[in-house]
Amino acid sequence: MRTGGTLSWIDDKPLVLGLTGVLILTGYFFRGALQEAGKEFFLHLRRRNAPAPPSPAIESAGQTAPLVVVTEAPEVRPLPISVPEPTPHIPDLTFEQIEAEIDKAAPLMRKQVGDRYIGIRVDWVLYLRAASEKEGKFRVRLSLEPNRLSRVTCGVDAATYPQLRLLHEGHPLRVSGVIESCEHGDIELKDVRLTVLSNKKP
């Protein structure tokens, strides 16, 4: 160092070297700090994206989540509905036609021929031959002609046909019914509907 008069000067070379060293040290410091900050940020991202650990309750019990099995619902099929077949109806079929078919068959085949007519609804005009009452039912015997032997029988409710009590033998009736049996030339009807006609042959 040199001094002279009121002026003094200092050799600035050591100062420059000192400042340079300080800057170098400061650079290393900030570089290390930036590296540490980068590592911390990277670890934070890894922890954030990592999958969640299993529930402690399940881990402690050694159990797994319940398995839900989805099965298809059974197919529901509608029950079959039985519809009764309509009763065959042959409006022009007469007692005489049935009797003729039975009579021309061999004796041992006549029952089979008569059975063919079972279940057919007929509609005939017949004549009251006789009637009886039992347990609220009328048992009615009918003939093809007035004052002839009865060939057709049927049963009806007495409460439905009270007028039968007043009819005399030979009174005409319209009879609609289903053939239940046909044996030995006699026919039994069921599901019968009666209509009382005037006392004159139609």
pLDDT in tens, 32-47: 555 665 666 656 656 6
As beta bridge partners, residue 196 has 173
Please name the fold of domain 95-196.
OB fold (Dihydrolipoamide Acetyltransferase, E2P) (2.40.50)
Question: Domain spans of the chain?
Answer: 11-49, 95-196
As beta bridge partners, residue 172 has 127
pLDDT in tens, 160-195: 999 999 999 999 999 999 999 998 779 999 999 999
As beta bridge partners, residue 110 has none
- Going by C-alpha positions, the residue among 194, 151, 162, 152 that lies closest to residue 175 is 194
pLDDT in tens, 69-128: 556 666 666 655 554 555 677 778 999 999 999 999 999 999 999 999 999 999 999 999
Contact 124, 187 (CB under 8 A): no
pLDDT for residue 121 = 96
In the chain the beta strands, taken as DSSP E runs, fall at 2-4, 7-9, 121-134, 137-143, 150-157, 172-183, 186-196
